[in-house]
Amino acid sequence: MRLNSSHSYVDRGNDFYPTPIEAIQSLIEIEGARMPHTIWEPACGDGAIVKPLERSGRQVVATDLIDYGAGYCGHVNFLDTLCPSDAEGIVTNPPYKLASQFVEKAIREAPYSAFLLRINFLESIRRYDFWKQAPLARVLVSSRRLPTMHRHGWEGPKAPSNMLFAWFVFEKDNYERKIEWFDWADYKKEFSCDIH
């Protein structure tokens, strides 16, 4: 018997699940100089990805459809907005129900993009043609389950995560499609408590 612990899209509202510091810190360390200096984070939420990127010395354009009161530019619909001219890449944890649209737009407009997605983003017959032509450079699989991401405002029980996540990294004209694994515990530095 398979237990389905996911919630409907209606229950998920804006589909905002704050990114664990462990995920973004690992990406920063693994990608290093391959990650551009100026990044657009178009689903920035509370800044969980923005703050570590800035601490790594990068400049970040932070926007979101919703204003979560964290001081970033709200009411900006990524799917209807052109990539800022100074942004060299996009790094985000998109609303999963819009993940395909986010990825397709990003790879059209930015030379570099990285998305935190469930590993099952690799499957689906709807994405079959997409994967045949997508400039996928690397899939960075989190071998250790990421700390649970509960949706914004969740007041219910905090169950452990049963989902597998990976960073999907796209680079213009790079079809290497390399799969790598990482353990976020290897990159756990002095995570600041103001990230969560």
* 48-99 pLDDT tens trace: 999 999 999 999 999 999 988 878 888 999 999 999 989 999 999 999 899 9
Domain enclosing residue 55, as ranges: 14-185
Beta bridge partners of 60: 39
Element (H or E) spanning 131, and its range?
helix 128-133
Using the predicted structure, report yes or no on whether residue 180 has a pLDDT greater than 90: yes
Say if 9 falls within a structural domain.
no
* Residue 165, in any domain of the structure: yes
Let me know if residue 6 belongs to a domain.
Answer: no
Q: Note the pLDDT of residue 149.
A: 54
Would you report the helix, strand and coil content of the chain in percent, each value rounded to 5? 30, 20, 50
CATH number for position 89: 3.40.50.150
Q: Is residue 194 part of a domain?
A: no
Given a cut of 50, whether residue 108 has pLDDT beyond it is yes
- Quick one: DSSP state of residue 172? T
pLDDT in tens, 18-52: 899 999 999 999 999 999 999 999 999 999 999 99
Tell whether 74 is covered by a domain. yes
pTM, full prediction = 0.84
Q: How many domains does the chain have?
A: 1
Dist. CA 31–CA 188, nearest whole Å = 15
In a domain, 7, yes or no: no
Half-sphere exposure of 163 (CA within 13 A, CB side): 18
> Each residue of 120-178: pLDDT tens digit?
999 999 999 999 999 999 999 999 998 865 444 445 444 555 689 999 999 999 999 99
Distant-in-sequence, close-in-space partners of 118: CB < 8 Å, separation ≥ 6: 96, 163, 164, 165, 166
